[in-house]
Amino acid sequence: MRLNPTRQSRLLLGSMMAAAFTPLFLSAQVPEGKITTREAEAIQRARKGARPRPVAHRAPLLSSEQNATKVFRNAKPSVVYITSIVLAANPKMEDTPAGTGTGFVWDDQGHVVTNQHVVNTDAVKGQGPTDEADALNVTLADGKTYKAQVIGRSLSYDIAVLQVFAPLDRLKPLTLGKSTELLVGQTTYAIGNPYGLDHTLTSGVVSALNREISSSLGNAIRGVIQTDAAINPGNSGGPLLDSAGRLIGMNTSVIGPGNRAGIGFAIPVDTLNRVVPLLIARGQLEPVYLGFTALIPAYARAMGVTQGVMVSDVEPGSPAALAGLRPLRLDREGHVVAPGDVLLTYQGTPIQNGVQLFDLLEVEPPKGAVVFEVLREGKVGKIILKVEPPKEVKKENR
């Protein structure tokens, strides 16, 4: 198509006028997300002047800040990271991390204290006590990891004591305070590993004293400390400290939206100082000698036992032996010849796993005789064990 000269002149003139007034149009009607030429030039000028800003000198830390950093610095080497592990039933499969939590060095003999629920698995979460982890690793503040073993436990107080196989000179015990001396309003510091973030410090105050909370069994733990220092998943088992850096409690639970950043509770140190030495000395608070040990959960599951406790060993002459309880039998190559008896109920209460049975024995120590329902060779029967008083050197029921 051809345009006449007059038409071409008009188009040319229109184009020139549009070009001349483009900046005016852009500044008056800037499409969203666009900038003007002038604004683009301003950005370029600012880029040329980019350089680090001068740092202002600050005054010394406030006394409260100095104390917080000192408390953390001194306590950090005493706080450990705990990883619980479920062993694979098949040697060709990898072991599975079951959970993480916090603990703290109790003494100079390699003992670490934490919550019992930290060393349990989540296999039956929400259905009462769960199985204890098959293995535990403890990572110290220097980043080195060592094996650990539960040597004492109390589900009724939610306390577990671990023996950590680390050089003793690497383990620094915390200084103990006294929870009966606490006052509402005084400063608290919590150190733990929330969500796997190691050695996290939060602070708050003692919000209330002599609270009562429930353990995993539903029994009451009394004299508990309430604090508003942030406690989240992974903080369980960690220390609650006063402004002098002394241990005043063990962080154990929280009530709030989604069980996080709510009202925190800590088992008082006076309770720990009474219970922990007993757990170290004899494994449980009120030991009852029955004379058998339980097969570890991973091996029991591999043999098809998902509920109850399979008997692994029976000590000769013990109540279990006299009652006729049968242990697991293996040949010389370690192959199963015959499975052990599976304990299904204790005094009429169904047994979920070894941890639950252990705690039933602790909360209501039996006297005289106890009755177990036992699965043997596909048939269910009853076995009566005559209970003996605690003895100095006996294997613990595990």
Contact 217, 223 (CB under 8 A): no
Cα–Cα distance list, 178 to 73, 181, 199, 221, 269 (Å): 21, 6, 24, 18, 6
Residue 282 — left, alpha, or beta (φ > 0 → left; ψ -120 to 50 → alpha)? alpha
Choose, from 78, 131, 134, 158, the residue flagged as catalytic.
Answer: 158
> What does residue 10 show for φ and ψ, rounded to 5 degrees?
-65, -45
Strands (E), the chain: 79-86, 96-105, 111-114, 135-139, 145-154, 159-164, 187-192, 200-214, 220-227, 239-241, 247-255, 263-268, 292-294, 309-314, 329-330, 336-338, 342-346, 349-350, 369-376, 379-386
Burial bucket for residue 58 (CB in 10 Å: 0-12, 13-18, 19+): exposed
Q: Decide if 236 is catalytic.
A: yes
- Give the three-class secondary structure for 376: strand
Q: Decide if 117 is catalytic.
A: yes
d(CA 343, CA 222): 32
Contact 247, 239 (CB under 8 A): yes
| Tokens at 225, concatenated | 């400390």
- Maximum distance among all alpha carbons in the chain? 123
Amino acid of residue 262:
G
Q: First vs last Cα of the chain: how many Å apart?
A: 99
| Tokens at 385, concatenated | 């064990």
| Tokens at 169, concatenated | 């000179």
> What does residue 311 show for φ and ψ, rounded to 5 degrees?
-75, 125
Choose, from 154, 236, 253, 318, the residue flagged as catalytic.
Answer: 236
Residues designated as active site:
117, 158, 236
